[in-house]
Amino acid sequence: MIKLTDRQWILAISALMMLALQGCTTTSAPLPSVGKPRLFPLNARPDPVCDGQDPRGPFNGACTSERLHELAFAALGKEAIFNMQGSGTCGEVSFDFGDGRPPQSFLNVPLSQGQVWQVRTTYTGWPGKKIVRVKGLRDCLADSSAEILVGFEPDGRDDVRTAFLPPGTQCAQVLAGSPRRAMPSIRNGSTVRIVTDGGKINYGSNKIFDASGDPSSPVPPGYLFSQYRKYSLVYRIGGQTIQGEAGPVIFRANNTAPLEVCVNDNPAYLADNTGGMIITITVNESSAQ
């Protein structure tokens, strides 16, 4: 018979206890999760491969499901649908639509095997690119985003085209649509592209200039924008001002405020301004804060 010392007995009992604990240990269940949001292709940009395909499938040849999702856009003013897959039941999830609205929270979202979670919304602000994001807030693994395009039917055009006529005031907020309405504020961090069609304004006494204005004359005292060209357009977002041009002007907004179009003219002689032009504005909110 083998006789064990007290130390050996203690070690043996410790080993047995460890084995017992290991046998009782259970593997914890994985946390529920939500995958990347995907815009359902209710509307798709023109494409020679996919035109005429039923968006519900089946997809044949080169018109794959992935290609169709890349062509998808959310139609301005119409319902858009986002699909997400995952597992389990998430306690709380938020969805950010990427247009400045507060994220929307959802409770107890079921995501069993093969089940699709849908989020629906309607975009009514600026068209253009946006980043949508889904994030787990409680008992849920989720933090993913996707870039989408919001545009006009039928082809996904993402710019706003509006007529600018001298308003008799120094600055006027951009109006667009039918009926014409004031456009929402440009969000801080958004990239803005503005181009005119080459139209001109007659500032009186046959002083006729396009958006670039008169580079040869100094700006007299009393003009609102002394640092910019006389008889030119100036774009303003809050405290940020940008020199207008006949060609494209691209800049990044450094604050959140409505977009205004201004004429750099003597404020005492605005009533005699005539003429006008078409202004095309593209707003990319992918980098907005």
Distant-in-sequence, close-in-space partners of 109: CB < 8 Å, separation ≥ 6: 34, 89, 90, 93, 117, 140
pLDDT recorded at residue 55: 66
Of 232, 229, 276, 234, the closest CA to residue 251 belongs to 234
pLDDT of residue 19: 42
pLDDT at residue number 42? 92
pLDDT tens across the length of the chain (289 residues): 445 454 444 444 444 454 444 444 445 668 899 999 999 989 999 998 888 777 667 776 788 888 888 899 999 999 999 999 999 999 999 999 999 999 999 999 998 877 899 999 999 999 999 999 999 999 999 999 999 999 999 999 999 999 999 888 899 999 988 788 899 999 999 999 999 999 999 999 889 999 999 998 788 888 889 999 999 999 999 999 999 999 999 999 999 999 999 999 998 989 989 999 999 999 999 999 8
Pairing between β-strand 208-209 and β-strand 74-75 as defined by DSSP bridges: unpaired
Residues in Cβ contact with 236 at an 8 Å cutoff, skipping those fewer than 6 apart: 171, 242, 259, 260, 261, 262
Question: For the structural domain made of 159-284, what CATH number should be given?
Answer: 2.60.120.430
Which residue in this structure is represented by tokens 């807030």? 137
- CA separation for the pair 155, 220 (Å, rounded): 46
**The CATH homologous superfamily of the domain defined by 33-151:** Immunoglobulins (2.60.40.10)
Whose CA is closest to 288, among 175, 201, 184? 184
Q: In the chain, what are the domain boundaries?
A: 33-151, 159-284
- The reply to whether 159-284 shares the fold of 33-151 is no
Q: What is the pLDDT of residue 14?
A: 46
